[in-house]
């Protein structure tokens, strides 16, 4: 079958028995493998799932996500049961915090069973410190010509709990790779624009910035917020304001690579992604309307480039990765973002996706990037 997913159905039962029935239905419809997108509000005890997956006649794996996206709706408490058209496509890489050399060996071994892929869907522990290194290593293994579309998985409260479910148990710091021989195409947009800067990152390590413009990073960030807002900003306001004022690193294509401030350690700021020393960063901001327009732009751009099959065949999926922090910023207006994506696509196209903790896509510079606060939407080329 010339598609990635053979079927998609929503399990709303909240029980192992109900989920078992939906898994068997998907197998009966021809699934050769199964991917479970598990809303983190689901009431099923995740510890029961490895045994359930072992019962099945086909390979199966699950990932916990802040929300499942279907058409123009978010499902935080339910499970999308996705039938796969290949038995060998979905493979889990454990312990992504390992060295680049060890990860390279694992990925090369997986590629041996999935030679010459044209596209990769990836779901990775969005709170792992190994994300950037894993994404870089993946690019080194597959090269610049393979389209990658991916999401960070995890729980909606950002707690450090296992979020990948295999027949062997529950895993943290893991990545799921879903290879396909079909060519993929993706569009990326975020809507965030600079309001202050540029500033020079003068001391950073991995995902922490210690100094900006040779000053301690946290008080410097509060100062530039105060300058922009025209008032004093208290330390206690950091969490509330940081979600609306991320940093952006300037890139060659004039786009900004968004970095989300998520915590502080003393005078250092922790970000949801790596920021290198000597990076030029800007303070970014966006209105809900800006974010909605950007999502519509991504969907419209995808429509102009995806396969003509989408206008001819029913049931073909596009895969939507949309950052949970966009929903947190927009509140009730987030419905408008999903609605515009739905409107910009042909009526017979099915939208399947993940409300994510970080997003992954190819960059215009040729690498694979770990993104924040961004909309990524992909489909068959």
Residue spans of the domains in the chain: they are 1-190+286-381, 193-285
Phi, psi of 281, deg, nearest 5: -120, 155
Calculate mean pLDDT across residues 314-337.
94
What pLDDT is attached to residue 217? 98
Query: Is residue 260 within 8 Å of residue 272, measured between CB atoms?
Result: yes
Write down the pTM of the prediction.
Answer: 0.94
CA distances to 288, 320, 337 from 73, in Å: 18, 12, 10
DSSP tag of 155? -
Please, which pLDDT band fits residue 114 given cuts at 50, 70 and 90? confident
Query: For residue 87, is pLDDT > 80?
Result: no
What pLDDT is attached to residue 206? 85
Query: For residue 161, is pLDDT > 90?
Result: yes
Query: Is residue 370 within 8 Å of residue 188, measured between CB atoms?
Result: no
What pLDDT is attached to residue 252? 75
What pLDDT is attached to residue 311? 81
What pLDDT is attached to residue 251? 83
Query: For residue 1, is pLDDT > 70?
Result: no
**Distance between CA atoms of residues 135 and 213, nearest Å:** 29
Calculate mean pLDDT across residues 120-131.
94
Per-residue pLDDT tens over the stretch 235-292: 999 999 999 999 999 887 668 999 999 899 999 999 988 999 999 999 999 999 999 9
Query: Is residue 119 within 8 Å of residue 88, measured between CB atoms?
Result: no
Q: Considering only CA atoms, which of 194, 295, 181 is closest in space to residue 245?
A: 194
Say which residue the tokens 């992954």 belong to: 360
Calculate mean pLDDT across residues 119-130.
94
Query: Is residue 284 within 8 Å of residue 300, measured between CB atoms?
Result: no
3-state secondary structure 305-344: HCCHHHHCCCCCEEEEEEEHHHHHHHHHHHHHHHHHHHHC
What pLDDT is attached to residue 219? 97
Per-residue pLDDT tens over the stretch 349-368: 999 999 999 999 998 877 89
Residues with Cβ < 8 Å from 124, sequence gap 6 or more? 96, 131, 134, 135, 150, 151, 152, 153, 174, 175, 176, 358, 360
Please, which pLDDT band fits residue 60 given cuts at 50, 70 and 90? very high
**Distance between CA atoms of residues 336 and 333, nearest Å:** 5
Query: Is residue 103 within 8 Å of residue 133, measured between CB atoms?
Result: yes
**Distance between CA atoms of residues 317 and 108, nearest Å:** 28
Strand partners, 194: 284
What pLDDT is attached to residue 2? 78
* Beta-strand pair 317-323/375-380: antiparallel
Please, which pLDDT band fits residue 73 given cuts at 50, 70 and 90? very high
Say which residue the tokens 């199964």 belong to: 34
Please, which pLDDT band fits residue 88 given cuts at 50, 70 and 90? low
Calculate mean pLDDT across residues 301-318.
90
For 30-43, letters b (16+ CB in 10 Å) and e give ebbbbbbbbbbbbe
Strand partners, 366: none
Q: Helix or strand or coil: residue 105? A: helix
Q: Which long-range contacts (CB under 8 A, 24 or more apart) does 260-263 make?
A: 260/325, 260/372, 260/373, 261/221, 262/158
Q: What integer best gives the mean pLDDT of the chain?
A: 94
Assign residue 160 a region: left if phi > 0, alpha if psi is -120 to 50, beta otherwise?
A: beta
What pLDDT is attached to residue 278? 96
What pLDDT is attached to residue 75? 98
């Amino acid at each position: 079958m010339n598609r990635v997913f053979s079927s998609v159905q929503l399990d709303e039962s909240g029980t192992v028995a109900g989920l078992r029935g939906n898994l068997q239905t998907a197998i009966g419809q021809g699934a050769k493998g199964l991917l479970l997108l598990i809303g983190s509000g689901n009431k099923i005890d995740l510890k029961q799932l490895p045994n359930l997956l072992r019962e099945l006649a086909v390979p199966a794996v699950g990932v916990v996500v802040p929300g499942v996206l279907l058409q123009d709706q978010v499902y935080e408490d339910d499970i999308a049961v996705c039938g796969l058209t290949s038995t060998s496509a979905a493979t889990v890489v454990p312990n992504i915090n390992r060295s680049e050399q060890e990860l390279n060996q694992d990925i090369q071994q997986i590629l041996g069973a999935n030679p010459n892929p044209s596209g990769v869907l990836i779901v990775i522990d969005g709170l792992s410190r190994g994300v950037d290194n894993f994404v870089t290593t993946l690019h080194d293994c597959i090269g610049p010509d393979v389209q990658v579309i991916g999401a960070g998985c995890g729980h909606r409260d950002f707690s450090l709990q296992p979020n990948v479910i295999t027949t062997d148990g529950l895993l943290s710091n893991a990545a799921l790779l879903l290879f396909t021989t079909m060519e993929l195409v993706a569009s990326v947009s975020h809507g965030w624009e600079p309001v202050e800067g540029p500033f020079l990152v003068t001391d950073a390590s991995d995902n922490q910035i210690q100094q900006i413009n040779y000053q301690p990073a946290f008080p410097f960030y509060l100062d530039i917020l105060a300058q922009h807002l025209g008032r004093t900003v208290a330390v206690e306001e950091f969490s509330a304001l940081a979600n609306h004022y991320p940093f952006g690193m300037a890139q060659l294509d004039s786009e900004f690579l968004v970095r989300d401030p998520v915590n502080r350690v003393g005078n250092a700021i922790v970000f949801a992604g790596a920021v290198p020393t000597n990076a030029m960063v800007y303070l970014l901001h966006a209105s809900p309307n800006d974010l909605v327009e950007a999502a519509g732009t991504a969907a419209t751009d995808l429509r102009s480039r995806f396969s003509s099959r989408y206008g001819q065949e029913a049931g073909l999926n596009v895969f939507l990765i949309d950052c949970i922090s966009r929903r947190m910023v927009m509140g009730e207006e987030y419905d408008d973002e999903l609605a515009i994506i739905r409107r910009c696509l042909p009526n017979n196209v099915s939208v399947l996706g993940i409300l994510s903790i970080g997003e992954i896509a190819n960059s215009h510079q040729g690498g694979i990037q770990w993104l924040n606060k961004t909309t990524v939407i992909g489909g068959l080329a």
